[in-house]
Structure 1
Amino acid sequence: MKIKRTKTVIFTLIAALAVGYGVYQKYFTKTPIYYLTDTVKTQDLEVTILADGKLEASEQVEVGAQVSGQIKKLHVKLGDVVTKGQLLAEIDDLPRQNAVKDSEARLKNVQAAKVAKQAQIVNARINLQRQQNLIKQKATAQSEVDMAEANLQVLEAELESLDAQIAQAKIALDSAQLDLDYTKIISPIDGVVVATVVKEGQTVNASQTAPTIVKVADLDTMNIKAQISEADITKITPGMKAYFTILGEPKNHYPATLESTEPAPEKFQTATGNTATTASNEAIYYAGILTVDNHERRFRIDMTAQVYIVVDGVTNQPIISTMATRFKPSNLPMPEGRLQPNEAYVWVKNSDGTIAPKKVTLGISNNIHTEVIDGLTGDEVIVLSETSSDAKNGPNRMPRMR
């Protein structure tokens, strides 16, 4: 019995010691705190708006046929560089040549009829003058004079009709000549052939709509149609500098300029009626048009572009990680006093391992890095975060800027 009582006392003492040790460890010992730190950098900083877009030709024309007929000759192929006025294709012109000849013959016929009518009028005037002289001598009847006058008036009216027919014949000849000219398809702009829609020998019908023969685009200057969210559209203005990357070369930055922004979403422009409805949870994007120099022909139509529109920037200024402006130590109180919107406290690590707050004035920020206008000398070690585990061998640098 005595042995049992002794064992119970021993077990009770062990349990009490364990609980006491746990309480001591939790409440009476200090866990060491380690700080993730970084230094102040003097470098450039940009604030950009990110948008996705597609590369387009600055000018693209669908060159069509204005007359029907068979494609007799295609003078260009895909990728050819063409100049304004260059012959691209020919439609069989024999029917149009015949139409021109027919119109010329009709015009000549009416012009000859006019000459004959003018001669008749001359004779009619002579006859009228003769009848008027005879009536004075009472050598003819008044009816003969009246008949001569009426005949002259009829001939003059017929001459006016022939003048109108000549005008119509000239219009018909001009139209026939224009249709003949339309059998030669010429380029309206300088550019590159980006599509050949027809082949030699194919028949095109222009009776309702002008069928496309080739597509010509100006690729020396290209546009990017970037989709900009409604949250960012108010932050940008035409003329802002920008740069972009393409999928094949994500590390290369190519310059661009924001030319304009469209006043309404694309779906609004294509919708019928006065308004276009949008679901309440659907994102709204506005198109921003950027111009890109492409004399080296590096970029192609429909390439995907990642666009960065520069809304603000500084060069060679003190820059810190934005994490430093948000850090609050767990074991130290924050300084009292109200901060201005562009002010913050950053915690500086001293040489003895302690940390102390410093009030700083902030400039621009891209959410990852922030400009420091005042409050730091530039050689401080600033605290980004803290940990209670051993982080001595962990990273102590902020992420590198892009």
Structure 2
Amino acid sequence: MKTLGLLAAVVVIGAGSYFGYSRLARGDGASAFMTREIDRGDVVQTVSATGTIEPVTKVIVGSEVSGKIHRWYTDFNAVVKEGDLLAELETDRFVTAVQQAEADLALARAREAEALVRHKDAARERARIEKLAEAQNASENELLVAIAAEEAARAVWQGAQASVKSAEAILGAVQVDLARTKIRSPIDGVVISRTIDVGQTVAASLQAPELFIIANDLKHMQVNANVAESDIGLIQEGGPAIFTVDAYPKRTFTGKISQIRYNATIVDGVVTYVTLIEVFNDDLALRPGMTANVTFEVAKAAGVLRVPNAALRFDPNPPAPGTAGMVRGRIGKPRVYIPDQGEAKPLEVETGLSDGVFTEVRGEGIKEGMLVITDRAMAARGGSARPDPSRSMRPPRG
């Protein structure tokens, strides 16, 4: 009796399992499919890019003369004012050059004074000879010789005057070089880089070496974003932008597009355009050099009916194995499928904006709350269902 009872129980369990599987395999109602409701919400079309955060005004401070660093007076993160002393070069060579130029100037002035005396003497001699010639006591040749001597003395004096001006210019130049041994801040700001130390040789031959980098105002920053050429036509100056940085993954920063540059940047055959985004950084959370993940809002449809993109991709008659690359025959208007007595019933729709997860839809028969098919159910497909990315877009609870 026990054996018969156990056998009957096994038969009942098997029959029940077969009946349940048969209903699921036949697609009884919505159980044969994975469905989502058509809901109402916002669809925002965006463009993504990456960029680097930089100060709006950043000045590289260099040295216009060569020499060794004698001392530096400011360091990283120091707040400086225009004209503040940042560093100083050794001045021995420049002081000697100034002294030599001063001596040359004194010598040139002495020679100019001597030439002036000779010129005045030649002028007096010419005047004396002229009076003698008027009284017939000097020949015409003597007068001509006196005039020539005066003109020669005048030329020597003018040359001496030019030598004085040249010596003054040389003295001014070496004095400027001496003043340039003191490296001063050209703007008000914050030192964000110092690349020198005491005893380091600075060579300013063809290009001024970089000693300091000063940011004018770290509360006013910009993002230098690289936007792909396929997306550059979708954004415009004055438009909004949001971005995140790795340092604050849960915080979103906002900005405004201030400039879209025409000059293209080509790296490995990829063409991008630098787009500048103005950002206010009142709490100094953003630092120069941070990488920004930028999102530009290019279009928005508010309060529209929308479906998950998986619903538009669903095909009740997928291609046979080995023909995955073939066209599925979705020619014509886009369509979604709704469950109808275990079958997938097509419904044509008009699509609008898409944010990559949801797509705006319109059309006759489209209603809020209507179920649309996104995939076959796990048991009906004989395996695991594909994940629906629209479900991950729900806001976190709590």
Deviations 1:267-302 (A, max 9, x none): 4xxxxxxxxxx6xxxx61414333233343212233
Separation (CA, whole Å) in 1 of partners of 2:228 and 2:198: 47
1:358 shift after superposition: 4.2
1:77 shift after superposition: 0.6
* 8 Å CA contact retained: 1:220, 1:297: yes
- Is structure 2 residue 359 aligned with structure 1 residue 370? yes
Deviations 1:101-140 (A, max 9, x none): 4433433443343344334333322221221111122222
* 8 Å CA contact retained: 2:32, 2:376: yes
Q: Aligned-pair RMSD on alpha carbons?
A: 3.5
CA, structure 1 residues 30+371, in 2 after alignment: closer, same or farther (shift >3 Å)? closer
- Aligned pairs for 1:216-255 (under 5 A) are 216-218=214-216, 219-255=218-254
> For 1:315, which of 302, 309, 318 is the aligned residue?
302
Q: SS of the residue aligned with 1:378?
A: coil
- Is structure 2 residue 277 aligned with structure 1 residue 263? no
1:143 shift after superposition: 3.5
The percentage of aligned residue pairs carrying the same residue is 28
Separation (CA, whole Å) in 1 of partners of 2:317 and 2:59: 66
Q: SS of the residue aligned with 1:84?
A: coil
CA, structure 1 residues 160+359, in 2 after alignment: closer, same or farther (shift >3 Å)? same
> For 1:195, which of 193, 196, 204 is the aligned residue?
193
TM-score, normalised with respect to structure 1: 0.74
Give the residue type in structure 1 aligned to 2:356: N
CA, structure 1 residues 102+324, in 2 after alignment: closer, same or farther (shift >3 Å)? same
Deviations 1:210-254 (A, max 9, x none): 333222234444443444445434444444432222223223221
- Is structure 2 residue 316 aligned with structure 1 residue 324? no
Q: SS of the residue aligned with 1:297?
A: coil
Aligned to 2:276: 290
Give the residue type in structure 2 aligned to 1:135: A
- In structure 2, the gaps of 5 or more residues are 1-17, 319-329
* 8 Å CA contact retained: 2:226, 2:272: yes
1:388 shift after superposition: 7.2
* 8 Å CA contact retained: 1:38, 1:396: no
Q: SS of the residue aligned with 1:123?
A: helix
Deviations 1:7-50 (A, max 9, x none): xxxxxxxxxxxxxxx9xx99xx9453523222233322221222
Give the residue type in structure 1 aligned to 2:295: Y
- Aligned pairs for 1:34-113 (under 5 A) are 34-113=32-111
Separation (CA, whole Å) in 2 of partners of 1:240 and 1:50: 14
Give the residue type in structure 2 aligned to 1:288: V
Q: SS of the residue aligned with 1:265?
A: strand
Aligned to 2:203: 205
Q: Which region of structure 1 is more displaced relative to structure 2, 238-247 or 352-361? A: 352-361
1:262 shift after superposition: 5.4
- Is structure 2 residue 372 aligned with structure 1 residue 360? no
Aligned to 2:327: none
* 8 Å CA contact retained: 2:226, 2:275: no
* 8 Å CA contact retained: 1:346, 1:360: yes
1:256 shift after superposition: 3.2
Separation (CA, whole Å) in 1 of partners of 2:65 and 2:206: 10
Separation (CA, whole Å) in 2 of partners of 1:377 and 1:111: 100
CA, structure 1 residues 207+380, in 2 after alignment: closer, same or farther (shift >3 Å)? closer
Separation (CA, whole Å) in 2 of partners of 1:207 and 1:397: 60
TM-score, normalised with respect to structure 2: 0.75
CA, structure 1 residues 327+204, in 2 after alignment: closer, same or farther (shift >3 Å)? closer
Q: SS of the residue aligned with 1:198?
A: coil
Separation (CA, whole Å) in 2 of partners of 1:98 and 1:330: 93
Separation (CA, whole Å) in 2 of partners of 1:167 and 1:87: 32
- In structure 1, the gaps of 5 or more residues are 1-21, 268-277, 332-336
CA, structure 1 residues 191+314, in 2 after alignment: closer, same or farther (shift >3 Å)? farther
Separation (CA, whole Å) in 1 of partners of 2:130 and 2:270: 91
* 8 Å CA contact retained: 2:241, 2:296: yes
Separation (CA, whole Å) in 2 of partners of 1:212 and 1:87: 16
Separation (CA, whole Å) in 2 of partners of 1:261 and 1:158: 61
